[in-house]
Structure 1
Amino acid sequence: MKRVESRIGVLGGKPVIKGTRIPVYLILELLGAGLTIEDILKEYPELTKEDILEAIKFASKLAKVEIIDAISP
């Protein structure tokens, strides 16, 4: 991922859009709340459409990660 990074000193290591303090989860929450990519770009002009699309791809990859050890009650 060229546009998503995680650094210890930025938001506790949560994935953000490179060069910003805008976390991937915020972009996903905004999309989930019904905002369009265009709406998000108006609210966060430092972002590009490619940043938002890469945030979605990043989240998609995380959702595909298999859990090795099942959690037992």
Structure 2
Amino acid sequence: MMTASFWDRIEINLQVMLGKPVIRGTRITVEIILKKLAQDIAIDEILADYPRSTPEDIQAAIAYAASALGTDEMLPLEAAAA
């Protein structure tokens, strides 16, 4: 379980990846981490693909996403064209 805030490991900087949340000090976006997890790619594989990242970084990305989704404000997504 993470005891530190995910903000210790996640940053948002308009000069990095157009302001998308990234693992601090990298260009690894929270989005790419979540997409890989959703594709059932193991954390060990993600860490091998991004050797500058740590298991704690992956947990911070998940915590950030959970926090972002936990707000009362949601933006509707357009349905994909069939």
TM-score scaled by structure 1?
0.89
Unpaired runs of at least 5, structure 1: 69-73
Residue 67 of structure 1: CA displacement? 1.9
Residue 36 of structure 1: CA displacement? 1.1
- Between the aligned partners of 1:44 and 1:52, the Cα distance in structure 2 is 11
- Between the aligned partners of 1:44 and 1:15, the Cα distance in structure 2 is 16
After superposition, the C-alpha distances for 1:20-47 in whole angstroms (9 at most, x for unaligned) are 0010000000000011111101111110
Give the counterpart letter for 1:7 in structure 2: N
1:34 is paired with a residue whose SS is coil
Which of 8, 11, 15 in structure 2 is aligned with 1:9? 15
Q: CA RMSD in A?
A: 1.1
Q: Percent of aligned pairs with the same residue?
A: 41
Q: After the TM superposition, which parts of structure 1 deviate over 4 Å for at least 4 consecutive aligned residues?
A: none
1:20 equivalenced with 2:22 (yes/no): no
After superposition, the C-alpha distances for 1:43-72 in whole angstroms (9 at most, x for unaligned) are 11110000000000000001111028xxxx
Unpaired runs of at least 5, structure 2: 1-6, 75-82
